[in-house]
């Protein structure tokens, strides 16, 4: 038995934030009914065709769901949705601000008839405030939340290589729904959850925010190196490989000089006698490290670092992550079905001894529409009428 077996989630979702939230609920056993537009469905289906003809974003966040197509501009389709919501435990939506409320799907309107219902609204800036109606895409939120100001090189800011603002919002929506389900178990009452991308990513900016507290200078953009700890970041080896390493304290600094650089006297160099001094003279120290590493392969550098107990990592590409020996050894790769056939998939983080995660198929557009409508009591004639009017 999985933790959310028997829980039904209806989601008016597109792109990443809401689908990532609901996919994780599905991982725990929830039945997730994804409401899509007839025809094309979630526009994230068309982002690319990189995964055997399917979109990489969509494959990632939509396994283990049922796809129900409804044209919510048509009264019959909206009525079917409201009937479905009345049977659900959770409603999640990340439509344009105000769109769900205009259809009568706000918590305020639904709660009197369905007091146990949990409604989770995900948006760029939240349900009120001066930015409520402002369009919000992941990169724009990275900018508004200050992420771009501390990420990149001194010359140019850089965005995250993944949808970090969407992911943050999806994670907080997911955990908020879990908390609401626990609370409902105690009180019998549902609740309203208002998650914004801005607030989610701002929470993740805690270190830079406090580092720059009360107008202090913010951490500088330092590419892949740590902004304030040195040496901590990427260093080239003689064979062209790149090694990531990080020192956290003075004990490790002395070991690094002795066992890795083979220059024990360097530990007492006044330029490098503390982290603050090493950070101040990072260019000089970088030159010394690169000179030492230049006569070794990346594997040899890593061997010395491991022997000295210095934290390090390889700078892997995507192919290396798919083939990562640690993921393989721990059995973290599974397979899921899809309209394009079986696909590899990472199991959710967190190995749990009491249940297996749900890893079901990625749905085709509208794959479950007729079956769900029959569950609601619609007859074949009614379904054919909806099909004829393109309401489904």
Structure confidence by residue, pLDDT tens digits, 117-152 = 999 999 999 999 999 999 999 999 999 999 999 999
CA distance 385 to 76: 10
What is the per-residue burial (b if ≥16 Cβ within 10 Å, else e) of 355-379? eebbbebbbebbbbbbebbeeeebe
According to DSSP, residue 219 is labeled P
When the pLDDT of each residue in the chain is averaged and rounded to a whole number, the result is 96
Rounded to an integer, the average pLDDT of 77-84 is 97
Condensed to tens digits (0 to 9), the pLDDT of residues 285-321 reads 999 999 999 999 999 999 999 999 999 999 899 999 9
Identify the CA nearest to 138 among candidates 228, 41, 71, 47: 47
pLDDT of residue 227: 86
Q: Please state the pTM of the whole predicted model.
A: 0.93
pLDDT band at 180 (very low <50, low <70, confident <90, very high): very high
CA 326, 332, 335: angle at the middle one, nearest 5?
Answer: 135
pLDDT of residue 275: 94
Condensed to tens digits (0 to 9), the pLDDT of residues 20-76 reads 999 999 999 999 999 999 999 999 999 999 999 999 999 999 999 999 999 999 999
Instruction: Please name each of the domains of the chain with its CATH number.
Output: 8-204+347-388 (3.40.50.10540), 232-315 (3.30.1540.10)
Rounded to an integer, the average pLDDT of 373-378 is 96
CA distance 251 to 308: 11
Helices (H), 87-163: 99-102, 107-110, 138-144
pLDDT band at 249 (very low <50, low <70, confident <90, very high): very high
pLDDT of residue 55: 97
Tokens at 197, concatenated: 């991308």
Q: CA gyration radius for the chain?
A: 26
Beta strands in the chain (DSSP E): 8-12, 31-36, 65-69, 90-93, 118-123, 192-196, 232-236, 242-246, 311-314, 333-336, 343-346
pLDDT of residue 228: 86
CA distance 160 to 148: 8
């Amino acid at each position: 038995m999985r933790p959310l077996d028997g829980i039904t989630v209806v989601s008016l979702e597109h792109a990443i934030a809401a689908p990532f939230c609901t996919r994780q609920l599905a991982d725990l056993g929830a039945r997730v009914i994804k409401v899509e537009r007839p025809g094309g469905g979630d526009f994230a289906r068309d982002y690319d065709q990189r995964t055997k003809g399917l979109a990489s974003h969509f494959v990632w966040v939509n396994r283990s769901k049922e796809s129900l197509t409804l044209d919510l501009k048509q009264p019959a389709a909206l009525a079917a949705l409201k009937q479905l919501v009345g049977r659900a435990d959770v409603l999640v939506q990340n439509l344009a601000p105000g769109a769900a409320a205009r259809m009568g799907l706000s918590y305020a309107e639904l709660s009197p008839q369905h007091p146990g219902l949990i409604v989770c609204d995900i948006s760029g800036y939240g349900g009120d405030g001066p930015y409520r109606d402002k369009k919000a895409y992941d990169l724009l939120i990275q900018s508004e939340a200050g992420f771009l100001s501390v990420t990149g090189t001194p010359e140019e800011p850089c965005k995250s290589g993944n949808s970090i603002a969407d992911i943050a919002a999806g994670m907080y929506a997911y955990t908020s729904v879990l908390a609401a389900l626990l609370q409902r178990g105690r009180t019998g009452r549902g609740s309203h959850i208002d998650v914004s991308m801005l607030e989610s990513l701002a929470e993740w900016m805690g270190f830079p925010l406090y580092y720059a507290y009360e107008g202090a200078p913010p951490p500088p953009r330092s590419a892949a190196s740590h902004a304030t700890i040195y040496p901590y970041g990427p260093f080239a080896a003689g064979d062209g490989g790149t090694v990531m390493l990080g020192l956290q304290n003075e004990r490790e600094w002395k070991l690094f000089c002795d066992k890795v650089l083979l220059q024990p006297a360097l530990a007492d160099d006044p330029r490098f006698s503390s982290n603050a001094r090493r950070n101040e003279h990072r260019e000089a120290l970088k030159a010394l490290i690169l000179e030492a590493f230049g006569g070794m392969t990346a594997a040899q550098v890593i061997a010395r670092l491991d022997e000295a107990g210095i934290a390090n990592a390889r700078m892997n590409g995507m192919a290396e992550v798919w083939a990562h020996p640690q993921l393989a050894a721990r059995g973290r790769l599974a397979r899921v079905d899809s309209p394009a056939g079986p696909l590899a998939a990472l199991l959710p983080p967190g190995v749990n001894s009491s249940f297996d995660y749900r890893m079901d198929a990625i749905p085709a557009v509208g794959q479950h529409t007729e079956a769900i409508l029959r569950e609601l009591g619609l007859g074949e004639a009614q379904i054919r009428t909806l099909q004829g009017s393109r309401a489904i």
